[in-house]
Chain A
Amino acid sequence: MNRRIRLWLVAVAGTALAALLVAACLDLPDFGGDRHPYGDRAVDASLARHTANTVASVNFDQRAFDTLGELTVLFAAVVGCVVLLRQTRDEHRARPEPEPVARPVRRYALAVLPVALLTGLYVIAHGQLSPGGGFQGGVVAATALHLLYLGADYRALERVRPLGLYEAGDAVAVSAYLVTGLAGLIGATAFLANTLLPYGTFNTLSSGGTVPLLNAAVGMEVACAVVVLLARFLDQAVEIEDPTGKGSGTP
């Protein structure tokens, strides 16, 4: 099946799919319509549990079990990357040397790193109040750490980032999520049910029952997962060379 036949097949199937999709779009309810039955009920349930950010309430309270599934997808992907990008026997690891970087860039990296880390933790902490949550804040915090690689070099980042700690942190965070769910099972009614803690006063940091706890667990898990993921990719791209040394030399 050479390339020409494959392209013809794609063209024919593509146009047929396009026709069907456009026909489907014409029958969809108008954009901006007023009928959102699930949305209204989700908002009412979220307000009943004093959670200001309804999306966080849907994610961590009404559909907490699906978020557990997503957490395992994240965890499995990181484990997959760790296995795929490991250093094979015949590859050797070259020590990263210090790299010359312009002074303003390094000063910017050193100045913005704590600010970005603070913003990431702010986004996680206020996940159930203002826009944000565990996922977004975790990625921002992990990216903040890698400013060291961007502002200086990989050796500086390695010195600050003990990888074993982050892999353990990843596992601890996922199990913290599970333990909170089991506590719901033991303490009150159902797995991951939000009946364990009092809902607190509306629009404060302690409102929403277990939503802030699950938010923090997901935030820590995503931050550790992204650090481990980027560590594997950086190792492959900067440190690990092939047996024939082809990999080394100027990139």
Chain B
Amino acid sequence: MRYPPGDLAIWIFILAELVVFAAFFAAYAFTRMNNVELFNEFQQQLDQRAALINTLALITSSYFVVRAVSAIREDNRRHCVVWLLAALAMGALFLIVKMGEYQHHFIVEGVSLSTNTFYMFYISLTFFHFMHVIMGMVILAAVVVMAAKGKYSAAEHTGVETGASYWHMVDLLWLIIFPLVYVMR
């Protein structure tokens, strides 16, 4: 194969998104250089357990999507839909846990983008990613609807692969955010 699975257009989009996040990651790491104490102090305010659950949720969700793609490659539409729904459920779990985290930081602690540099990065990175999870879920939901209508088959399932590729990117981003923002110090 010369091209990645799914529509090439989504890959151009994925590349653009990856570049933006890469810039944010590098900015985080280099800004931390001059604010080590601040970063270390406020990193400890973050909820490690929530981050663990969320990482597991996204990885599992990504795995379910992989299974959905293999199901449609075997022309098994019903399994494809079921796996995608399971992936969506995992995405929803992520959102719920994340909202719990935000509820604590935003409402209980009253933190905002302007609180300090660490929270600026924490909120920017995670909220931007949070919006991507929602976007990814919207895409997956559209794929589920199409799959349920029987639009995909073993011969033609570019749509499933396109949605899957985007969703894996959402997972991929989190795989870096998790250690960078929550663990590395």
* Co-complex (A, B): no
What residues of chain B have their CB less than 8 Å away from a CB belonging to chain A? none
